[in-house]
Amino acid sequence: MSDVAVQTAPASDGSAAKVETFRNRIDGEWCHSASRPFDNLNPADTSDIVGRFQASTAEDAERAVGAAQAAFEVWKKTPISRRAAILNRAADHLDAYADRTAREMTREMGKALNLAKDEILRSVQTLRFYAVEGQSLTGEVFPNDDPDMTVYTLREPLGVVSVITPWNFPVSIPARKIAPALITGNTVVFKPSSDAPLSGYRLAEAFATAGLPKGVLNFITGGAGEVGPAITEPPVIRAISFTGSTAAGEHICRSVGFTTRTQMELGGKNPLIVMDDADLDKAVDLTVKGGLSLAGQACTGTSRVLVMKQVRAEFTERLVAKVKALKIGNGLTAGMDMGPLATAKQLETVLRYIAIGKQEATHVYGGERLTGAGYERGYYVSPAIFADVSQEMTIAREEIFGPVIAIIEVSSYADAIAKANDTEYGLSAAIVTRNPRIMHDFANDIQSGTVKINRTTTGNLVNAPFGGLKRSSTSTFRESGRTGLEFYTQIKTIYRGC
């Protein structure tokens, strides 16, 4: 199944390391683009080239769309049990190679190996979930006055759909888009991020190994500028499921016709509220896990901590102590709490926000570029903590997507809610409290698509809906769970007389 061509490149120790070149998959064939491939680097050690990938052209993308279009009518009519069996076989393949794929994921985007493995196993679960759930997606039957007529709805697939994904969850996000698209009978063009293409490649490989017919899932790598318009703008693209930055999502939404359905999962500025009755150790733990475990590079990551005045000093002290003890290093090394930032661009952005934070708020801890032994070829930054942050500050308003925690003091529950909601985003929000009244009110008052009580802002189930409010998502269809299937189907209403 491997399509790999092997070349050599100089390794950091001066020896020649093997570098594999990975191809696109279009119309059931592993194929090269005419252009020069690009290198995928390890952010923990940039002398390590993880692989070479196709810098696809608009023509490659057009061929992928054409192949998906040609495959649609047959795939749509393929029995659902056969489609489900393919999802299950792809899950088996992903499961069997979970250790290898986890190592590759850590090498290409930096997250700790145990988190990479968890992500792959969750993706296996996602494929298996949709193999079952997709088989019970039904229409409705409507009572009416005509005894000789039956009125009912049919759900049918849309056609060709584009799946465009970021680098931070490079298997689980594509899996939760591709699996519901395929089980409902759509055909797919999948473009992963150029910063983590190998993980997406492995997912495409799992489907190819599982016997997916040609053209049903097409995989192309390359830049948004070259590939983007060809897989978003043609009217034959009936739906786009996109996860990434709000700016890119808005751009795509504006450039597509109204007959193209969009599902955009975008940025966040996620708050965690710490009430004065909170278990402070738990609040600190949730802040660290939610804000730093992926070096702050989760869309649902905790970036603002709104702490009641009475406990603010104590909370900050305990948070700093916990953050100081974190082990930062290569995610392949067991026991690391935080890896590098994923790209040079991320490093530059995060350091820029830390510099802004130092000017506008009280710098409490960290935020240094790490350069000593073990760090010299990676994008490492120590977690930054800022206090005395107020609403108008840049670090309180803009998505940083890095290990930066902004502590905002609040005087009451009402003050906390007002400040938590004072943002253009609404992806995830959490509260730490023992008060059942406040738990109840928080679920109603907070403007957020995901609401967590005494849990991290991060993390979501494969069988429950996921998505944001305000500028964190398009207000159309939720991903994950049953709602993930609805996005990929359209409803026909049938009036059948005798």
Least distance in angstroms from the C-beta of 230 to ligand NAD:
9
Which of 56, 184, 186, 232 is in the footprint of ligand NAD by CB under 6 A? 232
Task: Name 242's bridge partners.
Answer: 164, 264
Taking the least distance from each CB to ligand NAD, the nearer of 316 and 423 is: 423
Task: Say whether residue 401 binds ligand NAD (CB under 6 A).
Answer: yes
Task: Say whether residue 245 binds ligand NAD (CB under 6 A).
Answer: yes
Residues in contact with 302: Cβ distance below 8 Å, sequence separation at least 6, in sequence order: 270, 271, 272, 286, 287, 290, 291, 405, 430, 456, 457, 458
Task: Say whether residue 405 binds ligand NAD (CB under 6 A).
Answer: no
- Rounded Cα–Cα distance for residues 349 and 401 (Å): 9
Q: Which residue has the tokens 């995901």?
A: 450
DSSP states along 166-227: -SSSTTHHHHHHHHHHHHTT-EEEEE--TTSHHHHHHHHHHHHHTTPPTTSEEE----HHHH
Taking the least distance from each CB to ligand NAD, the nearer of 93 and 471 is: 471
| Angle of the 224-232 helix axis to the 58-77 helix axis, nearest 10 | 40
Residues in contact with 73: Cβ distance below 8 Å, sequence separation at least 6, in sequence order: none
Binding pattern to ligand NAD, positions 32-51, x when CB under 6 A?
--------------------
Binding pattern to ligand NAD, positions 96-135, x when CB under 6 A?
----------------------------------------
Picking from 47, 21, 49, the residue whose alpha carbon sits closest to that of residue 35 is 21
Task: Say whether residue 178 binds ligand NAD (CB under 6 A).
Answer: no
Q: Which of the ranges 17-25, 75-83, 132-140, 241-249 carries the binding residues for ligand NAD, by CB under 6 A?
A: 241-249
Task: Say whether residue 265 binds ligand NAD (CB under 6 A).
Answer: yes
Least distance in angstroms from the C-beta of 385 to ligand NAD:
21
| Angle of the 98-109 helix axis to the 80-96 helix axis, nearest 10 | 70
Taking the least distance from each CB to ligand NAD, the nearer of 130 and 190 is: 190
- Rounded Cα–Cα distance for residues 101 and 88 (Å): 18
Which of 164, 181, 350, 416 is in the footprint of ligand NAD by CB under 6 A? 164
The residues that are catalytic are: 265, 299
Binding pattern to ligand NAD, positions 183-222, x when CB under 6 A?
--------x-x-----------------------------
Contact positions with ligand NAD (CB under 6 A) in 290-319 = 299
Neighbours of 72 (CB within 10 A): 22
Taking the least distance from each CB to ligand NAD, the nearer of 282 and 482 is: 482
Taking the least distance from each CB to ligand NAD, the nearer of 127 and 427 is: 427
Task: Say whether residue 165 binds ligand NAD (CB under 6 A).
Answer: yes
Picking from 332, 436, 327, the residue whose alpha carbon sits closest to that of residue 103 is 332
CA angle in degrees (0–180, nearest 5) for 184-189-192: 115
Which of 157, 180, 267, 366 is in the footprint of ligand NAD by CB under 6 A? 267
Contact positions with ligand NAD (CB under 6 A) in 419-478 = 427, 468, 472
SS3 393: coil
Residues in contact with 54: Cβ distance below 8 Å, sequence separation at least 6, in sequence order: 22, 23, 24, 32, 33, 35, 37, 60, 220, 221, 222
Taking the least distance from each CB to ligand NAD, the nearer of 192 and 329 is: 192
Contact 270, 301 (CB under 8 A): yes
Taking the least distance from each CB to ligand NAD, the nearer of 316 and 480 is: 480
Q: Which of the ranges 1-9, 164-172, 274-282, 488-496 carries the binding residues for ligand NAD, by CB under 6 A?
A: 164-172
Least distance in angstroms from the C-beta of 270 to ligand NAD:
9
Taking the least distance from each CB to ligand NAD, the nearer of 36 and 254 is: 254
Least distance in angstroms from the C-beta of 419 to ligand NAD:
20
DSSP states along 429-454: EEEE-S-HHHHHHHHHH---SEEEES
- Residue 44 DSSP code: T
- Compute how many residues bind ligand NAD; rule: CB under 6 A: 27
Taking the least distance from each CB to ligand NAD, the nearer of 433 and 480 is: 480
Radius of gyration over every alpha carbon of the chain, rounded to an integer in angstroms: 23
Which of 50, 163, 198, 248 is in the footprint of ligand NAD by CB under 6 A? 248
Spell out the long-range contacts of 73-76 with Cβ–Cβ below 8 A and sequence spacing 24 or more: 74/213, 75/182, 75/185, 75/186, 75/187, 75/213, 75/216, 76/156, 76/157, 76/185, 76/186
Least distance in angstroms from the C-beta of 468 to ligand NAD:
6
Which positions lie near ligand NAD, rule CB under 6 A?
164-169, 191, 193, 224, 228, 232, 243-245, 248, 251-252, 265-268, 299, 399, 401, 427, 468, 472
